[in-house]
Chains A and B, each alone.
Chain A
């Protein structure tokens, strides 16, 4: 059999920790090979070994049958291995062409020959149906388009083995569909793809084969047509996973949060939330669905006091909290799982224990007359760690050292333990694996069942649809519709999210419109 990439018994250790324990990954020419595993399972380590960022402690790498030693990313490039990173590595103020040639600029008489490069990029783009304008500025194009620039970058450098690292994390449903088309096109043109993901749906849809790794060990390689999401999930997590979110009917009571005519500007002074109205009731989970950048971030920051409200009113339990400082709002009963756990949620250089009292350290029993009581702080931390299954060596471990899922479980534990009346969960499961997602969804529903109000903001449609009791669609700073998750589907939501007001007509062929909406 023709393998383009063979990673045989790759072993990589960090100190005494075995990140890759004799993993074997064999990618055939012209296939999409998915690499599936939980966070911290060793996917990134394995790919970094392939890309030359890490040196393996054991094992062999063969590219197109030849044994190679990949000492740095340049060697990987020369071997035709290209990586499409999850976080795009693009210069905002540069054009597409300038970004692509960055680092290997073609010169002519000492000046950069942009024109020739642009021609070539255009040609490649047309070849693969990428539809990228070589002269567009990165800051002017959509996230989906930026990703295609990343793909172009690898193709321009002659890659024929492409690694996609969590490529759909920041895309809309329509953009995901397009990406899948592009990947299929790449295969047709003879490229091979390694797809790193933990989204089972994508694997089922696009991959030919899948290699599952768990806790640093290669578990199994399967043909996608011979398997199903349930099997993959249990292989990945090591136990059976419940997919459908198990919940009873919501019993909403009175409003906990009322937002009236809210206007909020972003850092550049542009209105992002435009006379928005919203209510969240006790005993319900209200999900906000929307494409990133439609005012979600500004809305959350305004509610939690992190951003100034221009006009309008926010009421919590009948108390006006508009433009009050964060501590006031926190003390009045708002819990907040922030969307960026590293920026807002944690002090990474503090121990996980100290992070567990981030909003309460100044209160008894954690401190008294300004003196910290470490005994009580760490006792509380221990409590949260046990209760919320935060996997860490101890409560004294730096928050930085924990995996994303465990950091998130810690934050969620901290917020819920403060017993807030309103829990704001902003993309609570971003980047987490199915096991952690299942756990977090359960906790959110538990809050609801305890009569708390939960506001869930997510870019994952599945999540919004599975967990919410009502779905509010946000577009351009306004709630344009509120839907019952049981009476809607992805297509309808996708269209609303793209700003198309839906004609309430059951006969409308939604599929066709989806294609247009993505343009």
Chain B
């Protein structure tokens, strides 16, 4: 079987198997799997509202997954996407609230602020890693907490003690009346264009530029990169900064698109952490991330329909979704089985 074929067949098989096991669990627990999956299906694609909301959920996953994948290609594990997303969210909303500018300036400025905030948040662990050898995993995890509590304090400060900021000006909003119209007033917004553009840009950087050549080289083999005259330390910092900017943009999707404000959070959004899973599902490639984010985002949103429409408890829904994702993530097992299977055939 050719490589390309395996790359398509494996995830499809994995999803099917995940669905089967999920069905068995539903059946054992006394629920009708057909009804359950029907509810899931309708929750994702049942009507235009659900489609819109699914896309809305997928949007930040695209960027968060891209952020993790990009750093990973340079051999860095950016667990700080969550924190970078939170500061990006805040920065975007702050620009959106405080300034009143024409949209052509205001929206790009708010997006840029989010990207820069995320980039700065990733710059710190990047520099520590490159020049002092401090493990980026530890630093990024800790930076997540700093991000969470610092933004909470800033939000309260900004809104005179209230738990949420004012709404952003319309000139900084990603809202789309067109999308609202065709999706029965879902919260789907123009951010999806930005996310897809980011996928293209990152793909371009990785595949077509000398920067991508260097970053991947550093990720594959630090020693050879150094031998070749690349500045390994600089590349580590650059990779973290770009990854952080993507994470910050993911935050802007929530701040400028979905919500239009930022509220004090008692805990993490989870989008950043799910970004790790999205990236793994997509084999750390930009196009793969589209697949991963679509699967993750739609399951996550569509599952919300299962308790109400099929009477399946929320806890069980979480288990089923987790199992489907688990099977996809362990896709390499299928790859191995497939290879073994096809090898045996060839020998005979």
A residues near B, CB below 8 A?
Answer: 13, 15-16, 57, 304, 306, 325-328, 330-331, 336, 338, 343-350, 354, 358-359, 361-362, 367, 370-372
Q: How large is the interface on B (under 10, 10 to 19, 20 to 34, 35 or more residues)?
A: 20 to 34
Stretch at the interface among B10-18, B32-40, B217-225, B282-290: B217-225
Given contacts A343-B221, A347-B220, contact A361 B213 (CB under 8 A): yes
**Hey, which chain B residues are within 8 Å of A328, CB to CB?**
229
**Hey, which chain A residues are within 8 Å of B224, CB to CB?**
343-347, 358
* Contact of B211 with A by CB under 8 A: yes
Contact A361 B229 (CB under 8 A): no
Contact A359 B229 (CB under 8 A): yes
Q: Out of B212, B220, B223, B346, which one reaches A15, CB within 8 Å?
A: B346
**Hey, which chain A residues are within 8 Å of B225, CB to CB?**
347
* Contact of B4 with A by CB under 8 A: no
Contact A16 B220 (CB under 8 A): no
A57-B347, A346-B224, A358-B224 known; 17 new pairs, CB 8 Å cut-off, are: A13-B346, A15-B343, A16-B346, A306-B227, A326-B228, A346-B221, A347-B220, A347-B224, A358-B217, A359-B228, A361-B210, A367-B209, A370-B209, A371-B208, A371-B209, A372-B209, A372-B210
* Contact of B314 with A by CB under 8 A: no
* Contact of B226 with A by CB under 8 A: yes
Contact A326 B226 (CB under 8 A): yes
Contact A362 B210 (CB under 8 A): yes
Distance to closest chain A CB from B149 (angstroms):
39
In the bound complex, how far is the Cα of B344 from the Cα of A57, in angstroms? 10
Majority secondary structure, B binding face = helix
Contact B229 A354 (CB under 8 A): no
**Hey, which chain A residues are within 8 Å of B343, CB to CB?**
15
Contact B210 A306 (CB under 8 A): no
**Hey, which chain A residues are within 8 Å of B212, CB to CB?**
372
Q: List 30 A-B contacts (CB under 8 A).
A: A15-B343, A16-B346, A325-B231, A326-B229, A327-B230, A330-B229, A338-B227, A343-B221, A343-B223, A343-B224, A344-B223, A345-B227, A346-B221, A347-B221, A347-B224, A347-B225, A348-B221, A349-B220, A350-B216, A350-B217, A350-B220, A358-B217, A359-B228, A362-B210, A367-B209, A370-B210, A370-B211, A371-B209, A372-B212, A372-B213
In the bound complex, how far is the Cα of B225 from the Cα of A349, in angstroms? 13
**Hey, which chain B residues are within 8 Å of A344, CB to CB?**
223-224, 227
Given contacts A325-B229, A343-B221, A347-B221, contact A354 B347 (CB under 8 A): no
Distance to closest chain B CB from A298 (angstroms):
15
**Hey, which chain A residues are within 8 Å of B220, CB to CB?**
347-350
Top 5 nearest A-B pairs by Cβ distance?
A327-B229, A344-B227, A358-B228, A326-B229, A349-B220
**Hey, which chain B residues are within 8 Å of A327, CB to CB?**
229-230
The proximity string for B residues 211-254 relative to A, scoring 1 for CB distances below 8 Å and 0 otherwise, is: 11100110011011111111100000000000000000000000
**Hey, which chain B residues are within 8 Å of A338, CB to CB?**
227
**Hey, which chain B residues are within 8 Å of A359, CB to CB?**
228-229
The proximity string for B residues 322-348 relative to A, scoring 1 for CB distances below 8 Å and 0 otherwise, is: 000000000000000000000100110
In the bound complex, how far is the Cα of B230 from the Cα of A328, in angstroms? 11
Distance to closest chain B CB from A347 (angstroms):
5
